[in-house]
């Protein structure tokens, strides 16, 4: 795969980061920000005693299996320098088990998770705030904003992900600023016999895909929630139903199965990827998770800025992965030390990027990773994005939102009526 061009738009940020505490991070003797020790040989034993005082000499971290492998080296380093063992446990159901087991005292000290879990984790009282102090400045602003919930920071970020517009440069030579241009370019490729589909995005057969379609919606001025005084989302300010939302609903039907057939309700994520890999469309709206397979297919691509459907910036959701500390940790001192002074280092953040392929949250790690133009392009797009809401109320939003979008794409119902009904249903669920 050869990247022939990377087009990037303006990087206006929608949010300003909430003020963080200025108190220094917890740094114990013998371990600085680099996670290395300059203390005498006897220091690790003494430091380990201090860390374990009043707690366990072992801390446990739950993560997916891929990240467990990556964290083995830093766990070994932590044990060598502090005497505290980090038990790494691979799990497929981290969030559910964490919420269930922490109150019983059987949960881990730390977990790897997504920032949009925070509302549920905080609501259940299972996660503790973390004071990063000056280290917060070392991370991308968008990552720190995502890890901030109701004014408190709850996680150490390590990766940021978002979607972009992947373009097959053999089918369309240059970037498009608007979705109308994308449609025009795609239709020309089809008319010229070069492609079978003007544009591809995967849709769930039951829930559509509000996540992938969100940039088009935000460009029409219809974010899902408004924000409060702290800059965070406010569940009492559901903004889906504004005039921009109604306009978006009308466009969904116009783009769909009974209209321009640009959005296809029968194209799932797997089918969209398959068709793009076969060179059957000039465009695929997707994230970095599909780039490795596109590379293997030998398709020359460019990662374009997200096109606009309206007059506002097309802002995607960003997702941030990080480390969270249990509110019931049996050794919160050691867990905090590991999270703040070991998991924030370049070596760890670099290794997590190598394993996962998502742009690093640590600025210095991102600068190195961004030598890859694909990483650089997704990073620029993400800088214009907004964190996916971590509010527990989002559980009341997804089903109606996605189902309504899918029905409109299928050509069902009056857009304004359907969209207003959706908003009313979501408001009722949030109220409960």
The residue assigned the tokens 């994520």 is 269
What pLDDT sits at residue 45?
A: 43
User: Over the chain, what is the mean pLDDT?
Assistant: 89
pLDDT over 60 (residue 10): no
Reduce the secondary structure of the chain to three states and give it as a string.
CCEEEECCCCCCCCCCCCCCCCCCCCCCCCCCCCCCCCCCCCHHHHHHHHHHCCCCCEEEEEECHHHHHHHHHHHHHHHHHHCCEEEEEECCCHHHHHHHHHHHCCCCCEEEEEHHHHHHHHHCCCEECCCCHHHHHHECHHHHHHCEECCEECEEEEEEECCEEEEECCCCCCCCCEHHHHHHHHHHHHHCCCCCCCCECCCECCCECHHHHHHHHHCCCCCCEEECCCCCEEEEEECCCCHHHHHHHHHHHHHCCCCCCCCCCCCCHHHHHHHHHCCCCCEEEECHHHHHHHHHCCCCEEEECCCECCCCCCCCEEEEEEEEEECCCCCHHHHHHHHHHCCCCHHHHHHHHHHHCCCECEHHHHHHHCCCHHHHHHHHHHHCCEECCCCHHHHHCHHHHHHHHHHHHCCCCCHHHHHHHHHHHHHHHHHC
What pLDDT sits at residue 230?
A: 84
Give 52's contacts (C-beta < 8 A, 6+ positions apart): 83, 84, 331, 334
Please give the structure tokens belonging to residue 62: 């739950």
The predicted-structure confidence for 324-376, as pLDDT tens digits, reads as follows 999 999 999 999 999 999 999 999 999 999 998 899 999 999 999 999 999 99
Output 42 or 108, whichever has higher pLDDT: 108
The predicted-structure confidence for 42-88, as pLDDT tens digits, reads as follows 344 445 556 665 556 899 999 999 999 999 999 999 999 999 999 99
Distance CA 37, CA 266 (A): 57
* CA-based nearest residue to 406, from 201, 265, 302: 265
Decide if 192 contacts 356 (C-beta within 8 A). Answer: no
Distance CA 359, CA 351 (A): 11
The predicted-structure confidence for 124-176, as pLDDT tens digits, reads as follows 999 999 999 999 999 999 999 999 999 999 999 999 999 999 999 999 999 99
What pLDDT sits at residue 198?
A: 98
What pLDDT sits at residue 272?
A: 98
pLDDT over 70 (residue 318): yes
pLDDT over 80 (residue 99): yes
Question: b/e per residue, 217-234, with b = 16+ CB within 10 A?
Answer: bbbbbbbbbebeeebbbb
What pLDDT sits at residue 20?
A: 29
**Stretch 409-418: mean pLDDT:** 98
pTM of the predicted protein model: 0.85
* CA-based nearest residue to 10, from 290, 384, 327, 307: 384
The predicted-structure confidence for 210-259, as pLDDT tens digits, reads as follows 999 999 999 999 999 999 988 889 999 999 999 999 999 999 999 999 99
The predicted-structure confidence for 380-399, as pLDDT tens digits, reads as follows 999 999 999 999 999 999 99
- State what percent of residues in the chain have pLDDT above 70: 87
What pLDDT sits at residue 51?
A: 66
pLDDT over 90 (residue 40): no
What pLDDT sits at residue 231?
A: 86
Q: Return the number of other C-beta atoms located less than 10 Å from residue 74's C-beta.
A: 20
The predicted-structure confidence for 262-295, as pLDDT tens digits, reads as follows 999 999 999 999 999 999 999 999 999 999 999 9
Helix 398-409 / helix 210-218 crossing angle, nearest 10 deg? 80
**Stretch 195-209: mean pLDDT:** 96
Pairing of strands 3-6, 317-326: unpaired
Distance CA 161, CA 369 (A): 13
What pLDDT sits at residue 38?
A: 34
């Amino acid at each position: 795969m050869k990247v022939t061009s990377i087009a990037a738009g303006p990087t206006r940020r929608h949010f300003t980061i909430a003020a963080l505490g200025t108190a220094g991070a917890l740094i114990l003797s013998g371990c600085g920000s680099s996670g290395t020790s300059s203390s005498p040989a006897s220091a690790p034993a003494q430091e380990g005693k201090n860390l374990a005082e009043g707690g366990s000499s072992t801390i446990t971290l739950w993560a997916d299996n891929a990240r467990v492998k990556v964290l083995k080296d830093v766990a070994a380093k932590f044990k060598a320098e502090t005497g505290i063992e980090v038990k790494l446990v691979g799990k497929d159901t981290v969030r559910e088990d964490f919420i269930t087991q922490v109150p019983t005292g059987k949960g881990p000290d730390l977990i790897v998770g997504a920032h949009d879990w925070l509302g549920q984790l905080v609501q259940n009282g299972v996660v503790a705030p973390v004071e990063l102090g000056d280290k917060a400045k070392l991370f991308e602003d968008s990552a720190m904003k995502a890890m901030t919930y109701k004014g408190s920071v709850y996680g150490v970020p390590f990766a940021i992900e978002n979607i972009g517009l992947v373009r097959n440069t053999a089918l369309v030579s240059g970037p498009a600023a608007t979705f109308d241009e994308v449609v025009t370019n795609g239709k020309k490729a089809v008319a010229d016999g070069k492609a079978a589909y003007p544009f591809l995005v995967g849709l769930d057969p039951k829930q559509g895909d509000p996540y992938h379609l969100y940039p088009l919606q935000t460009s029409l001025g219809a974010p899902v929630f408004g924000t409060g005084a702290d800059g965070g989302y406010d569940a009492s300010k559901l903004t889906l139903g504004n005039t921009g939302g109604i306009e978006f609903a009308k466009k969904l039907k116009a783009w769909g199965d009974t209209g321009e057939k640009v959005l296809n309700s029968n194209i799932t994520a797997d089918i969209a990827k398959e068709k793009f890999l076969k060179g059957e469309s000039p465009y695929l709206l997707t994230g970095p998770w599909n780039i490795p397979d596109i590379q293997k297919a030998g398709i020359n691509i460019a990662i374009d800025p997200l096109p606009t459907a309206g007059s506002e910036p097309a802002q995607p959701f960003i997702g941030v992965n990080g480390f969270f500390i249990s509110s019931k940790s049996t050794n919160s001192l050691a867990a905090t030390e590991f999270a703040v002074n070991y998991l924030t280092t370049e070596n760890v953040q670099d290794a997590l990027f190598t394993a996962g392929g998502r742009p690093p949250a640590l600025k210095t790690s991102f600068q190195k990773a961004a030598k890859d133009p694909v990483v650089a392009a997704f990073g620029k797009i993400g800088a214009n994005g907004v964190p996916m809401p971590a509010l527990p109320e989002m559980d009341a939003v997804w089903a109606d939102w996605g189902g309504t979008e899918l029905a409109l794409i299928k050509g069902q119902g009056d857009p304004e009526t359907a969209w207003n009904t959706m908003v009313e249903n979501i408001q009722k669920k949030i109220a409960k």
